[in-house]
Structure 1
Amino acid sequence: MTKRTLGVSVYPDHSNVDEDKAYLLKASQHGFSRIFMSMLEVSGGKEAVIEKYRDLISYAKKLGYTITLDVAPSIFDQLGISYQDLSFFSELGADGIRLDEGFDGRKEAMISYNQQQLNIELNMSNDVDYLNNILSYCANEPFIYGCHNFYPQRGTGLPLDFFNSCSRRFKEKGIQTAAFITSQVGKIGPWSINDGLPTLEMHRDLPIELQAKHLFATGLIDCVIIGNAYASDEELDRLGNLNRYQVTFDVKLCDCIHKVEKEILLDNQHVRRGDITNLVVRSTEVRKKYKAEKNPKNDCSHEFKRGDIVIGNDEFGKYKNELQIVLQAHSDERKNKVAEISDQELFLLDYITPWAKFKLEEI
């Protein structure tokens, strides 16, 4: 199982190198460790490209980043590079190249044995047997990675079910995976059209940390990369503080919540009970921990909707102080409503499976 990472993207042919360096420094301070660097467009000859990219990559390596260069066949032709000799990219300091376009499988497998031991990153955004074809030619599997596309044009990002199907093809083979989220302030990308740079269309207008929460919650993505540049300091901070290994819901507390309920809600590791119900997500361990604590019935409404968080009150017998997240609307005088999940995050409830761990954080 690969540890989960965060990445940023830079576009040296569309940006200023000093601004790129400042951005990479800030991102590294927030725990980012991977760079997606576009080489789909380059200007000038080979020497000019070497000078520009080597300087930036050298700086990034000092900060501890691993760097993948996004390349297209036209770049190989333009710079006179052979697929049989990837020393050009190695000399720049890159750790891998992403093949924006595929070949016949046999060629990718051969490239994965490159003498420079560069990682070869494959395009994940096609639901075809591309990966298996490459692996059938005895590819050098530890050097094969997967990365989805991003989609600058509004309305062209992947739908969720298609994304899941594409991603499983890689994840089931143990291949490291990556996908893109979009900053809501970044303006720089590879093309003139830039309506954001997410992989999933449903993410295009969501807060950046919610996009990342979702990708990690699917269990299909190891590295989440900000597609456009430059994300704001606040966005970098929110992503840096994100729990990459369990869903943490943002919740709004009710006015009538009291001290013990607040502690149950915010200061505990919650686990969904394994024998699940459709009515609620049950976090039952907390009721054992707080069984001696009184919890009177409160004056808030006891009519509950999806996303409400409730805790059993003194009238609930042995279930007193059990925390539940409402999945289906119902009413129950024996439960106190203490908080509610933000509307934007309700879809993440689909990922709270039997025995799933989750946390709750006050907005």
Structure 2
Amino acid sequence: MTMRKLGLSIYPDHSDFEKNKAYLELGHKYGFSRIFMSMLEVQGSVEETKAKYQKIVDVGNKLGYQTIIDVSPRIFDQLHISYDDLEFFHDLHVAGIRLDQGFDGATEAMLSYNKYGLIIELNMSNNVDYLNNIISYQANTSHIYGCHNFYPQVGTALPYDFFMKCSERFRKFNIHTAAFVASQVGNMGPWNVNDGLPTLEMDRRLPIEVQTKHLFASNMIDDVIIGNAYASEEELKAMSSLNRYQVEFHINFVPDVNEIEKTVALTPQHFRRGDMNNLVIRSTMPRVTYKEVPNKPHDNEQEFQRGDVLVGNDGFGIYKNELQIVLQPHSEARKNKIGSISPDELILLDFIKPWSKFKFSE
């Protein structure tokens, strides 16, 4: 598993240099370190194109970004670039190129040995034997990355199950992976339709940090990139402050939550018991750690709903101060409702398997 990174997208053909520079500086402030750069449409001569892209890539390089540029066979033709010589991209100072369309396997394998050491990034959003084929040609896998597509048109992004199947093909070979989330304010992409630019359709309208948590929780994605530009500073900040390595639920506490319950929720490293059940996710260590601390009943008469967070009260004997997250509605007077998970984050409950680690933030 590599370190997980956050990324931004830049569209030099639809934007001005100063705005892009300011965006990269803002991203750098919040720890973003990858750039997806679109080169699916080119205006002007080879030299003009080179100068324009190089200028913004150099800004990113100075700030410590890794830039991968998205290209199609049409661009190779338009700019008279040969697959045997990637000097044009080396001159742009990018770290790699993303092949928006695939070739025959042998070509990609050969490209992975290019003399400039450029990363060759493959399109992950197809559930076909593409990667196996490339690897069977003895590709240089350390220089091969995978990156999903994004989908500007509402309703056309990937369903979750299909996304998982496509991603598993890359995970199997330990290939570095990336996917996209959508800013809710950015309105720039590669085309003139822009309903957000996510990889997953179910993520399209969610807050950006929830989309990011979702992709990381799948355990299939190393780098999460914002597909559309420009995301707001609030969005960059929200993404930068989330936990990239375990699910951290945002909890909304009830008014009567007490000190011990807040401590039980916010202090320990929670993990789900290995012997799981379908009713609740149980984090049982707090009942040991805080077994001496009293906890009076409150908010214990209603029917608890999926995503409610409960703590055992004084009436619950050995289970006092055990923390639980509700999966199926039920009633139990020996448990206090201390809060609930944000509705947008209920999709993350499915990722809490036996022994999964998780946390809460207020």
- Aligned position for 2:51: 51
Q: Is the 8 A contact 1:196 1:228 kept in 2?
A: yes
Matched with 1:243 is: 243
> Do the aligned partners of 1:302 and 1:335 also contact (CA within 8 Å) in 2?
no
Are the counterparts in 1 of residues 54 and 93 from structure 2 also a CA contact under 8 Å? Answer: yes
The 1-side partners of 2:237 and 2:57 are apart by 23
Inter-CA distance 6–299: structure 2 relative to 1 (3 Å threshold): closer
Provide the residue aligned with 1:24 in structure 2. 24
Residue type of the partner of 1:289?
A: T
Instruction: Deviation per CA, 1:101-120: give whole Å up to 9, x if none.
Output: 00110111011110011000
Shift of 1:345: 1.1
Once the two structures are TM-superposed, the CA of residue 248 in structure 1 deviates from its matched residue by 0.8
Whole-Å separation in 1 of the counterparts to 2:89 and 2:77? 14
The equivalent of 1:318 in structure 2 is 318
2:255 aligns with 255
Q: Which residue of 2 aligns with 1:356?
A: 356
Could you say what secondary structure the match of 2:57 adopts?
helix
Q: Give the structure 2 partner of residue 149 of structure 1.
A: 149
Does the 8 Å CA contact 1:273/1:281 hold for their aligned counterparts? Answer: yes
Gaps of 5+ in 2: none
2:100 maps to 100
2-structure distance, mates of 1:301, 1:96: 59
Secondary structure of the equivalent of 1:330? coil
Alignment of 1:213-224 (within 5 A): 213-224=213-224
The amino acid across from 1:293 in the alignment is: V
User: Distance in 1 between the 2:44 and 2:77 partners?
Assistant: 14
Task: Show CA shifts across 1:307-356 (max 9, x none).
Answer: 11100011111111000001111111111110011211111100000101
Tell me the distance in 2 between the aligned counterparts of 1:71 and 1:34: 17
**Contact 1:301–1:337 (Cα < 8 Å) also in 2:** no
Structure 2 counterpart of 1:75, which letter?
I
Residue type at the aligned position of 1:255: P
1:13 matched to 2:13: yes
Aligned counterpart, 1:209? 209
SS at 1:304's partner residue? coil
Aligned partner of 1:336 in structure 2 is 336
Partner of 1:39: 39
Greater displacement, 98-107 / 302-311 = 302-311
Structure 1 portions without partners, runs of 5+: none
The answer for the alignment partner of 1:266 in structure 2 is 266
SS of the residue corresponding to residue 177 of structure 1 reads strand
Q: Does 1:189 align with 2:189?
A: yes
Q: Which amino acid aligns with 1:231?
A: A
**How far off is 1:300 after superposition?**
4.7
> Alpha-carbon deviation of 1:255?
1.2
After TM superposition, give the deviation of residue 302 of structure 1 in Å.
Answer: 4.1
Alpha-carbon contact 1:302-1:336 (below 8 Å) kept: no
Q: For residue 43 of structure 1, what is the amino acid of its counterpart?
A: Q
Match of 2:139, as an amino acid? A
Aligned with 2:68: secondary structure?
Answer: strand
Q: Look up the equivalent residue of 2:196 and give its one-letter code.
A: G
Q: After TM superposition, give the deviation of residue 299 of structure 1 in Å.
A: 4.6
Q: Deviations over 1:116-146 (max 9, x none)?
A: 1100000000000000000000001100110
- Whether the 8 Å CA contact 1:256–1:300 is kept in 2: the answer is no
- Contact between 1:168 and 1:220, CA under 8 Å: does it hold in 2? yes
Amino acid at match of 2:193: I
Quick one: distance in 1 between partners of 2:314 and 2:113? 66
SS of alignment partner, residue 240 of structure 1: helix
- Cα contact 2:299–2:337 (8 A) shared by 1: no
Report if the CA contact (8 A) 1:312-1:334 is conserved. Answer: yes
SS at match of 1:13: helix
CA separation of 1:201 and 1:299: change in aligned 2, threshold 3 A: closer
Distance between the aligned counterparts of 1:8 and 1:43, measured in 2?
A: 23
Task: Give, as a single letter, the amino acid of the residue that structure 2 aligns with 1:287.
Answer: R
Deviation of residue 91 (structure 1)? 1.2
Tell me how far apart the structure 1 counterparts of residues 228 and 190 of structure 2 sit (CA, whole Å).
9
Distance in 1 between the 2:197 and 2:207 partners? 13
Contact 2:300-2:334 within 8 A present in 1 as well: no
Going from structure 1 to structure 2, the CA distance change for 1:193 and 1:299 (only over 3 Å counts) comes to closer
Q: Is the 8 A contact 2:159 2:202 kept in 1?
A: yes
Identity of paired residues, percent?
A: 60
Residue 224 of structure 1: SS of its match in structure 2? strand
- The secondary structure found in structure 2 opposite 1:174 is coil
Per-residue CA shift, 1:230-269, capped at 9, x if unaligned?
0000000000101000111111101111111111111221
Query: 3-state SS of the aligned residue for 1:206?
Result: coil
Q: Which residue of 2 aligns with 1:86?
A: 86
Distance of 1:237 and 1:342 partners within structure 2: 19
Q: Secondary structure at the match of 2:215?
A: helix
Map of 1:279 onto structure 2? 279
Q: Distance in 1 between matches of 2:305 and 2:192?
A: 44
Partner of 1:165: 165
CA contact (8 A) 1:72 1:101 kept: yes
